[in-house]
């Protein structure tokens, strides 16, 4: 009997056709609708492998639904949707997709910064709605990016790559991270600061920190009050690292100039979300790594990780490093 792989979102057939001869493969039939929990539970009861999305909650109930699950491959760098501790206890490998999306996510993050700074979305809608009647000196005037100070909270690989792009705009680069990165300081001229100093000095504050118990609601109303009134806040990490009500209140009060958000506390959001009512907010639907090339590479990496585990070898990008393949896998 072939090992059974369940994929929680419809992927291009060209990506999965290579494994159909060796494995039994089934996909959820929708590209843009999450698999219901009851369906996921039913499939997990018989699956040897799950290829999951960040929106899928892979909790203890799912991990213990059956007795043959060997690997969960998450189509994301983050894995806060997976109960890694329980997976490790059960001998289930957890894999993610780092590195292959670094440049693409950094591109999007910097594009979000530029869009928020120069009011790109607002200006495009202004033209489409027929409101452009004449030229005026301060028509939709935004903020310069060049020679300004960018503060990056979370100097991982994506943070470093965003900083690299900032050098092309002659920006001053500040960063805050759990550990100092001397090699980045030397290579890019970045300056390590305390969180408080970064908040006070940044013209553009870019949040790229992972979601942990320590970073949840890291950005509160008090934090926003300490930022420059001309500052713009960007979040391309995880929605729950900010207090969205606090951000809304800070924007309405004029305590900061604008925001660019690729992530939200609860996704997807609806059109009535308070932040969407503000003209100085650029909102995107969590598309940081969404290029055709990168998403395809992420899918292939997930499949490579799954086949490695089912073949009894160590996958390329293992999250729970204490996992060991079963002798008779």
Q: How far apart are CA 304 and CA 326, in angstroms?
A: 18
Residue 324: predicted pLDDT: 79
Count of CB atoms situated within 10 Å of the CB of 238: 23
pLDDT (tens, 9 = 90+) of the chain, 329 residues, equals 899 999 999 999 999 999 999 999 999 999 889 999 999 999 999 999 999 999 999 999 999 999 999 999 999 999 999 999 999 999 999 999 999 999 999 999 999 999 999 999 999 999 999 999 999 999 999 999 999 999 999 999 999 999 999 999 999 999 999 999 999 999 999 999 999 999 999 999 999 999 999 999 999 999 999 999 999 999 999 999 999 999 999 999 999 999 999 999 999 999 999 999 999 999 999 999 999 999 999 999 999 999 999 999 999 999 999 897 655 44
pTM over 0.85: yes
Tokens of 149: 């100070």
Q: Would you call 61 a catalytic residue per the annotation?
A: no
Q: How would you classify the pairing of strands 258-261 and 4-7?
A: unpaired
> What's the confidence (pLDDT) of residue 328?
46
Q: Which of 31, 60, 125, 267 is catalytic?
A: 267
Residue 309: which of 293, 287, 324, 294 has the closest Cα? 324
Q: Specify the fold of 4-98+292-310.
A: Rossmann fold (3.40.50)
The CATH code of domain 102-283 reads: 3.40.50.720
Which of 238, 244, 255, 295 is catalytic? The answer is 238
Which residues have C-beta within 8 Å of that of residue 22, sequence separation ≥ 6?
2, 3, 307
- Tell me how crowded residue 229 is: count the other CB atoms within 10 A of its CB: 11
Residue 37 has which token pair?
Answer: 């929990």
Say yes or no: do domains 4-98+292-310 and 102-283 share a fold.
yes
Confidence (pLDDT) at 326: 58
Quick check: bond before 255 cis, omega within 30? no
State the SS3 of 59-80: CHHHHCCCCCCCEEEECCCCCC
Q: How far apart (Å, rounded) are the C-alpha atoms in residues 23 and 90?
A: 22
CB 300 within 8 A of CB 280: no
All structural domains of the chain with their residue ranges = 4-98+292-310, 102-283
Annotated active-site residue 267? The verdict is yes
User: Catalytic site residue 295?
Assistant: no
* Per-residue pLDDT at 61: 98
Q: What was the pLDDT predicted at 1?
A: 87
**Which one of the listed residues 9, 119, 286, 295 is annotated catalytic?**
286
Cα atoms in the 13 Å half-sphere on the side-chain side of 4: 14
- pLDDT for 282 equals 98
* Exposed / middle / buried, residue 16 (Cβ in 10 Å: 0-12, 13-18, 19+): buried
């Amino acid at each position: 009997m072939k090992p059974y792989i369940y994929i929680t979102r419809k992927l291009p057939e060209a990506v999965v056709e290579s494994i159909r001869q060796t494995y039994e493969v089934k996909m959820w039939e929708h590209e843009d609708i999450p698999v219901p929990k009851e369906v996921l539970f039913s499939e997990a009861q018989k699956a040897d492998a799950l290829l999951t999305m960040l929106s899928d909650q892979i909790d203890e109930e799912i991990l213990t639904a059956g007795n043959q699950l060997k690997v969960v491959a998450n189509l994301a760098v983050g894995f806060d949707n997976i109960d890694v501790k329980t997976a490790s206890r059960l001998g289930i490998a957890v894999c993610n997709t780092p590195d292959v999306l670094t440049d693409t996510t950094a591109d999007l993050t910097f594009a979000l910064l530029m869009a928020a700074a120069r009011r790109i979305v607002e200006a495009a809608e202004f033209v489409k709605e027929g409101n452009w009647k004449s030229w005026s000196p301060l028509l939709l005037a935004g903020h310069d990016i060049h020679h300004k100070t960018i503060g990056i909270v979370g100097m991982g690989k994506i943070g470093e790559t965003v900083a690299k792009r900032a050098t092309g705009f002659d920006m001053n680069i500040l960063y805050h991270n759990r550990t100092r990165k001397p090699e980045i300081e030397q290579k890019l001229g970045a300056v390590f600061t305390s969180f408080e100093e970064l908040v006070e000095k940044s013209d553009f504050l870019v949040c790229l920190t992972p979601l942990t118990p320590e970073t949840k609601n890291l950005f509160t109303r008090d934090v926003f009050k300490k930022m420059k009134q001309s500052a713009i806040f960007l979040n391309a990490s995880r929605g729950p690292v900010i207090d969205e009500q606090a951000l809304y209140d800070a924007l309405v009060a004029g305590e900061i100039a604008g925001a660019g958000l690729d992530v939200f506390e609860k996704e997807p959001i609806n059109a009535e979300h308070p932040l969407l009512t503000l003209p100085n907010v650029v909102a995107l639907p969590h598309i940081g790594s969404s290029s055709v090339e990168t998403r395809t590479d992420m899918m292939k990496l997930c499949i490579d990780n799954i086949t490695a585990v089912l073949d009894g070898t160590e996958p390329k990008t293992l999250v729970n490093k204490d996992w060991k393949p079963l002798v008779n896998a």
